[in-house]
């Protein structure tokens, strides 16, 4: 006897990274969206088996030089050219909906369109804005290359985004950056997490994928411009996240800086700190590191760009500063004022519970996926 047919319509979910809570911010966002879709569709997940390439600095420099010459940004180039692999996975299947994760995979719209009734792209970042802000934060010649890649991304966005029926973005500022008739804000969010029951320790914490270029520039800026101002008052500075080798040289030589690397539970590790620092000077989308700090009920000090898109108020949910002296002053104030730390941590956690848990964020998708 055959099992009963699934009454739900079919959907395809194309993701360049594993849609899993344990695989970083991108994987966490994808996991949330996939779980929502699975309540309404019978979902096939497709991905990529990437060609191997060297991560040696010389090889990376040569690849990016070739990309500059061709006018193709790195990740767009890295995830292009797998049409045969994708076609093998989907065969002749038909879908009511196909969702493409990341702009890096936008060029597969041409292959997917004949297979689906509606085509959606989920923009974790506005890549042109990400590259442009990186150019402002980075040093030459990286700044020059990022400006070239930003221009290339703007050109590709004009070509590919109109091929999609619906665009998802992480925030209202990103929505305003997209010229498309159907753009919906689907905020980054976390599962609902109980506050970790751990003792607050004498330290600051920074968390994230430590090879992600906005995080590298953030660490560089904090290490040179802010940490020397607060070092004697704030115990340790701990850095948490995968790929710690990318910043090892930037933070070496100081016994008060601990490069912890990847941990099993980032929220619990953040909860051990007095303050979560978010010294980002480039980026797009919204920051999971702030959501994790709020989930841990910890006080946050962020740059304006780091807090962008989270509808957080300076002095209520976190403290915001764009220059090193004011950033350092906020840290010193919080280190000395436990009541202020507690108030900001509680307000941040309430804001997270009200706006940035998965069930709350899923409500934003109902309109986007309504026919």
**pLDDT tens, position by position, 276-293:** 999 999 988 779 999 999
Q: What is the pLDDT of residues 45-73, one digit of tens each?
A: 999 888 888 888 888 889 988 999 998 99
Predicted TM-score (pTM) of this structure: 0.92
> Using the 8-state DSSP alphabet, how is residue 17 labeled?
S
247: helix, coil or strand? coil
- Give the integer Cα–Cα distance in Å for 271 and 269: 5
pLDDT at 316: 97
In whole angstroms, what is the distance from residue 80 CA to residue 260 CA?
A: 34
Q: Which residues pair with 95 in a beta bridge?
A: 116
Question: What pLDDT score was predicted for residue 283?
Answer: 83
pLDDT tens-place string over residues 120-133: 999 999 999 999 99
The CA distance from 356 to 350, in Å, is 10
User: Using CA atoms, how far apart are residues 268 and 305, in angstroms rounded to an integer?
Assistant: 25
Contact 23, 47 (CB under 8 A): no
Cβ neighbours of residue 152 closer than 8 Å, sequence gap 6 or more: 71, 72, 73, 76
- Contacts with 324 (C-beta within 8 Å, 6 or more apart), sequence order: 221, 225, 226, 229
- Structural domains in the chain? 10-189+358-368 (3.40.50.2000), 203-355 (3.40.50.2000)
């Amino acid at each position: 006897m055959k099992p009963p047919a699934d009454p739900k319509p079919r959907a395809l979910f194309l993701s360049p990274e594993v849609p899993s809570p344990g695989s970083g911010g991108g994987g966490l966002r994808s996991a949330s969206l996939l779980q929502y879709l699975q309540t309404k569709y019978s979902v096939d997940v497709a991905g990529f088996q990437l060609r191997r390439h060297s991560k040696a600095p010389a090889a990376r420099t040569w690849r990016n030089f070739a990309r500059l010459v061709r006018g193709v940004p790195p990740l767009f180039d890295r995830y292009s050219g797998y049409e045969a692999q994708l076609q093998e996975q989907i065969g002749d299947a038909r879908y009511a909906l196909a969702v493409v994760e990341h702009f890096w995979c936008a060029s597969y719209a041409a292959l997917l369109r004949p297979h689906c009734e509606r085509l959606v792209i989920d923009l974790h970042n506005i890549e042109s804005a990400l590259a442009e802000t990186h150019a402002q934060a980075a040093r030459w010649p990286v700044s020059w290359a990022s400006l070239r890649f930003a221009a290339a991304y703007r050109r590709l966005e004009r070509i590919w985004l109109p091929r999609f029926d619906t665009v998802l973005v992480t925030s209202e500022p990103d929505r305003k950056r997209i010229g498309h008739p159907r753009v919906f804000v689907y905020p980054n969010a976390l599962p609902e997490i109980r506050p970790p029951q751990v003792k607050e320790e004498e330290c600051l914490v920074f968390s994230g994928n430590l090879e992600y270029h906005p995080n590298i520039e953030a660490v560089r800026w904090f290490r040179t411009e802010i940490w020397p101002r607060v070092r004697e008052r704030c115990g340790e500075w701990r850095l948490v996240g995968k790929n710690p080798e990318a910043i090892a040289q930037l933070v070496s030589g100081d016994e008060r800086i601990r490069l912890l690397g990847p941990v099993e539970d980032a929220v619990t590790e953040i909860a051990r700190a007095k303050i979560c620092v978010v010294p980002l000077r480039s980026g797009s989308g919204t920051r999971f590191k702030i959501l994790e700090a709020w989930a841990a009920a910890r006080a946050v000090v962020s740059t304006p760009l780091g807090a962008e898109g989270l509808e957080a108020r300076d002095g209520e949910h976190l403290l915001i500063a764009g220059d090193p002296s004011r950033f350092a002053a906020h840290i010193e104030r919080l280190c000395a004022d436990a009541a202020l730390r507690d108030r900001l941590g509680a307000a941040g956690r309430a804001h997270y519970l009200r706006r940035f848990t998965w069930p709350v964020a899923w409500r934003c998708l109902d309109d986007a996926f309504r026919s």
